[in-house]
Amino acid sequence: MAVIAEPIAKPVSRFQLFLDRREVLEMFLVAPAIIYVLLLVGLPLLLAVYYSLSTYTVYDPSWRFVGLRNFWDILQNPTFTQTLLNTFIFTFGSQLLGLVLGKFGAFLLLRPFPGRKIVRALIVLPFVIPVALATIAWRWLFDSLYSVFNWTLIALGILERADAPNWLGTPWLAMLCVIIINAWRFFPFAIVIFLAGITAVPQDVIDAATVDGAGFWRRNYQIILPMILPIMAIGLIFGIVFTFTDLSIVFLLTQGGPVGATSVLAFAGFKTGIESGDVAHGAAMSLFMLPVLLIVVVFMLRFIRRREI
Amino acid sequence: MQRVLTRSLWELAFYLGVAFFVVLAAFPFYWMVITAFKENSDLYDVSNIPFWFNEWPTLEHIKYLFEETLFARWLWNSLVIGVCVTAITLVTAVPAGYALARMKSRKGETLGIMIFLTYLVPPTLLFLPLSRIIAELGLQNSMWSLVLVYPTFTIPFCSWLLMGFFKALPVEIEEAAIVDGCSLFGAFIKMAIPLSVPAILTVVIFTFTLTLQEFVYALTFVSSSDQKTITLGVTTDLVRGDVFFWGELMAGALIAAVPVAIAYNLFLDRFIAGITGGAVK
């Protein structure tokens, strides 16, 4: 080591003593990160709660406290009930589709074959491309006139041009498109998480099971699956949280339309709070996300903790 | 004979499955590439085969991006934001990750999990109050608001990632330095940091790509064109009313997406390891 001891004769300053006490130094090193996060995540979170209980708007920034009236207003509005329902359909539809695709994809990629590295790099593209940019590409794929899907269906003689679906203009089709894009974005993540879990299962455990006479399905569902559940749980937390709170896909693909069919919580909060300037109602809408997020996170964390024992 | 046949049928099914996944994942990307280089007359003719060039490829759209739009400016803005956010993240997350890893008992781990959980607090819950805070600071409609806000998700993620790294670094190295006369802080600066260069590089890549990907905060805080980031500029400024300039849109998306995709692809396993924390041992 090239570090040479300093001569002891030098008087030890107060600052140096401070930096030599382990607990003090540790707190000093963590403090900037914690302060940043408290000021720009913790404080805004509290502010959001307060806005939702006030009459704050961009035009009238008063802090008058009105209790739960904003929440009551919102729930009276049938459009919002639709939005709430949409959020759940969007989240669980795309997670389910993404998981199914992820499971099959991981199953294929588990086996070594020539070119696996390149195949993997291509398959993870949806997850590594910024979602806003990918959504714009999808919008072009679903274009009312130039959709390549419609072109193919017509060219194959399955459809007449007159019957070609207007993907983003029909309510249920638009919802389907939003779900497909989100599932498309997350299935590579599911594949990679799944693979990471499986490769972490010690080979001798699998071998022991094989020697003991466990068949393919038994190995899969009674040994590998329980062992990778914690990591799958974490993958699912991220999938659900990021989907449930996303607005970019809806904003760029459908603008919540047609007639509110794809409006989700985050998008409604943005429309009301930012575009209309009704901060109080917008905050109340956004806060509907909070209980679901808390439940998901707490449930998953407990699950992981229990698994570790 | 029968066995050979079943076997090759299985092989065929396997490669068909692989091909299905490759097409599913990469087709929109292929679509971006092909649209970006097609002539408009080729693009907007429904009788043309859309999957390939019916006329010669062109660089017209890319030229248009740089000459007629603020594309170069958005690239520059994204670069500046990325560099500043990376600097802020390194200065805060490296010490935090180190201290969390070295804390005795379970305190470090609990604190680490708490910091990491803030990564899960969605921008869509925070943009309303943050937009007020930014207005108070006089940063509304300026790219500097993004420099202020992006560390809220890069710091938690990177602290967590670095905590895992420092835990794997043997304490003995710093102890040896302390025996040689280094202070505790000196051991961190002179021993731990130089040894963590690979981890720091990972953090730089992630911070940069996370800021390039971000959309919600940019959309909420920035509205004038010359302050936009590349992701926001491409997705909102190249649409005039109801008219979509598809060639330019796809060219812009392609240029913005390719570096992120490559960087991410190379570091994906580290990203997954960071997200799943201790779950894979």
Query: Chain B contact for A63, CB < 8 A?
Result: no
Categorize the per-residue pLDDT at A1 as very low, low, confident or very high, splitting at 50, 70 and 90: very low
CA distance A129 to B234: 14
CA distance A61 to A278: 10
Q: How far is A90 from chain B (nearest CA, A)?
A: 16
The answer to whether the CB atoms of A132 and B235 lie below 8 A apart is: yes
Q: Which residues of A touch B272 (CB under 8 A)?
A: 192-193, 196
Q: How far is B1 from chain A (nearest CA, A)?
A: 24
pLDDT of residue B280: 45
A6 has pLDDT over 70: no
Query: Chain B contact for A285, CB < 8 A?
Result: no
Q: What is the CA radius of gyration of chain A?
A: 26
Residue of chain B whose alpha carbon sits nearest to that of A40: B152
Chain A residues 69-98 within an 8 A CB cutoff of chain B: none
- Residues A29-46: what's their mean pLDDT? 92
Per-residue pLDDT of chain B (281 residues; tens, 9 = 90+): 788 888 899 889 999 999 999 999 999 999 999 998 988 888 887 777 788 888 888 888 888 889 888 999 999 999 999 999 999 999 999 999 999 988 876 788 888 888 888 888 889 989 999 998 998 899 989 999 999 999 999 999 999 989 988 888 888 888 888 888 888 888 888 888 888 888 899 899 999 999 999 999 999 999 888 999 999 999 988 887 777 888 889 999 999 999 899 988 888 888 888 877 655 44
The answer to whether the CB atoms of B181 and A5 lie below 8 A apart is: yes
pLDDT of residue B281: 40
Query: Chain A contact for B33, CB < 8 A?
Result: no
pLDDT of residue A309: 45
Residue of chain A whose alpha carbon sits nearest to that of B89: A33
CA distance A164 to A147: 9
Q: Which residues of B touch A104 (CB under 8 A)?
A: 17, 21
pLDDT tens string A97-122: 999 999 899 988 888 888 888 999 99
The answer to whether the CB atoms of B128 and A48 lie below 8 A apart is: yes
pLDDT of residue A84: 92
Q: Which of B29, B31, B59, B56 is nearest to B41 (CA)?
A: B56
Q: How far is A212 from chain B (nearest CA, A)?
A: 25
Query: Chain B contact for A36, CB < 8 A?
Result: yes
pLDDT of residue A89: 94
Categorize the per-residue pLDDT at A2 as very low, low, confident or very high, splitting at 50, 70 and 90: low
pLDDT tens string A196-249: 888 888 888 888 888 888 887 888 778 888 888 888 888 888 899 999 999 999
Chain B residues 74-113 within an 8 A CB cutoff of chain A: 88, 91-93, 95-96, 98-100, 102-103, 111, 113
Categorize the per-residue pLDDT at A19 as very low, low, confident or very high, splitting at 50, 70 and 90: low
Q: Which residues of A touch B52 (CB under 8 A)?
A: none
Pairing of strands B243-244, B239-240: antiparallel
- Residues A83-88: what's their mean pLDDT? 93
A277 has pLDDT over 80: yes
Q: Which of B207, B81, B121 is nearest to A43 (CA)?
A: B121
pLDDT of residue A116: 87
DSSP H or E segment with residue B244: strand B243-244
What the block records as the tokens of A45 is 């979170």
* ipTM of the complex in this document: 0.89
The per-residue pLDDT of chain A, averaged, comes to 85
Residue A100 amino acid letter:
V
The label of the residue with tokens 């979602």 reads: A131
Query: Chain B contact for A286, CB < 8 A?
Result: yes
What lies within 8 Å, CB to CB, of B147 at 6+ separation is B81, B84, B85, B88
Query: Chain A contact for B261, CB < 8 A?
Result: yes
Query: Chain A contact for B130, CB < 8 A?
Result: yes
User: Please, where are the H alpha helices in chain B?
Assistant: 2-36, 40-43, 60-68, 71-102, 107-117, 123-136, 143-149, 151-168, 171-179, 184-187, 193-195, 197-213, 216-221, 230-237, 246-276
A180 has pLDDT over 90: yes
Report the range of poorest mean pLDDT among A28-42, A159-173, A174-188: A159-173
Chain A residues 188-207 within an 8 A CB cutoff of chain B: 188, 192-193, 196-197, 200
Enumerate the β-bridge partners of residue A54: A65
A8 has pLDDT over 60: no
- Cα torsion through B8, B12, B18, B23, rounded to 10: 160
